[in-house]
Chains A and B, each alone.
Chain A
């Protein structure tokens, strides 16, 4: 039997004490592991979110809010200058508006926002959106009624109509043409794209017509999309929307594509300079940073908790070993008296500390593996639900309604955060545990070296 074997056996010398220490260490290690996993998962998500935002710059009229009704739209001529700037490869321009269903009773702007509400803004379409006041955000379901009360029986939610030069997307989300064909966003025609839900609700198919702004629009194509709010939308070309809504040359938003992420910052500055105070210019990186702000908080919390749990684990093992050494002072004296060196005794006690810590770590790993996901979810949910909504929240002229924008994007995306326990984390965890044990017991080695062999004769 050598010092290592004796150390391992000593770890089981007092089963009750060993069990207690191992459980406490296990809880500490479990928390540390959960935090390590949460930190890594959130970190990965932040990287993924930032990588997925692309090289785009969003341009909107200055002070434009989805909840405000200012009519300070940009103009096509202003944006033409932007299109000619260096590194801008493409510019998609949009003019959004809201149509009410002919014969529908309207509440006092239940969805907020919207650019105009003249009597001309009517359509024969009925919205496919089923209102459910308790359904929550993420696609236009939530409804707030000022003054309370119920909805009129013949109420139909307003429908978004988007005039765009890029009819293949809604708010950056690609659409898929399921029947018919797409339209030319630059050509002034009465052709339109409607969602599958809209077509079903109104019994429309490719070639059918419907009324809007007092004109007849033709269904050129029917689309599907992952953007839930887009089901309540009609897409037409930008010139057609400008003509039909009487907002000639006006644009409510534009998205500029930049040739490289490296040029994003300089291109954003150039666009800001070109448009001056008339526009708010936000790059996709800025949006991503706003979007991941709650995640950064979670990452910080998990990091501090991880450090705290590791320190707690270190203190537990240190105090345990101090207690054990004090209790076995005479035994240490005996070992020295019969020829053991300080190093040999220290190795024995270090092995004991490592054994206790590894047992605690094994329990901690199991706890961490079970608790990591719920803890991560809890941290993310709490952080995002108390966070400040980012750009683009709310409903109104932007397609998607309540819950969209950075904040909604964050919440929807973060529900997919999966805290996985990989081998690398387990190995890192065990290495960290051994280091903690060695540091804790290493300090104790100083106590051991100070025990005099003559201690063995004390109180004989």
Chain B
């Protein structure tokens, strides 16, 4: 499903060049639930942004279903992000003046799904992540952190992506809610057969995933399982 070869990403910081990701190579199988762990500044989020085509690598190769996304043009990258990737962020990042349902409908609109289909599917996804019907019409500010993250997961699933990338999805939640969200992602990876890569610094959560990639100073330090 995902093959990363010798991936590098450097940034200029004043006169020095910082290698945020320094020659990482990983393989993730179809439907696998993987986690990336490491300390702050180890390059976890940079790796995630490269996998999600939010940023371009300095060098290296990222193949998703055999297609090298590093060679895609801007228009193809937009399509890739829209249809093949789902993002879940630590801070939820829902659009504040849209309701929960409208937030879930948003990627489908970008993907060209009809309005009727969008509405049906958004409702189904929100039901699936356990957001009650009365809360589906609420705006994010009227939802709890856990509920907002459920909406964010539903949004990530909107276009049936093959790969979901989650950046510290439980980082802003209390442990009980965090565990519920993690369990939800875990079950989705099984029921939807979606590959999920979670960035976390929580070893306990990482321990529950199928495989763990540990990063240190921009390099892959260890792979467990």
Residues of A within 8 A of B (CB): 1-2, 6, 9-10, 13, 330-331, 334-341, 344, 452-454, 456-457, 460
Contact = CB atoms under 8 A, between A and B. Distances in A.
Contact of A452 (B54, B78, B106, B168): B54
A356 to B, nearest CB: 15
B93 A10 contact: no
Contacts of B38: none
Contact of A453 (B54, B75, B95): B54
Contacts of B167: 457, 460
Contact of A460 (B52, B98, B102, B168): B168
A457 B180 CA distance: 23
B31 interface: no
Interface residues of B, number: 34
A339 B102 contact: no
Nearest to A458: B45
B102 A1 contact: yes
Contacts of A331: 93, 95-96
Given A338-B87, A460-B90, A460-B168, A454 B97 contact: no
A191 to B, nearest CB: 89
Contacts, number: 77
Interface of B: 45, 48-49, 52-55, 75, 78-79, 81-83, 87, 89-91, 93, 95-98, 102, 105-107, 109-111, 155, 159, 167-168, 171
Contact of B45 (A9, A344, A460): A460
A341 B107 CA distance: 11
B110 A339 contact: yes
> Does more than half of chain A's interface fall in helix, strand or loop, or is it mixed?
helix
Nearest to B102: A1
B116 to A, nearest CB: 13
Nearest to B155: A338
A339 B54 contact: no
B45 A340 contact: no
A158 B90 CA distance: 98
Contact of A454 (B49, B78, B110, B168): B49
Taking each of B48, B79, B102, B106, which has the highest tally of chain A beta carbons within 10 Å of its own beta carbon?
B106
A339 B81 contact: yes
B47 to A, nearest CB: 11
B107 A339 contact: yes
A103 B55 CA distance: 106
B214 to A, nearest CB: 20
A2 B113 CA distance: 12
B87 A452 contact: no
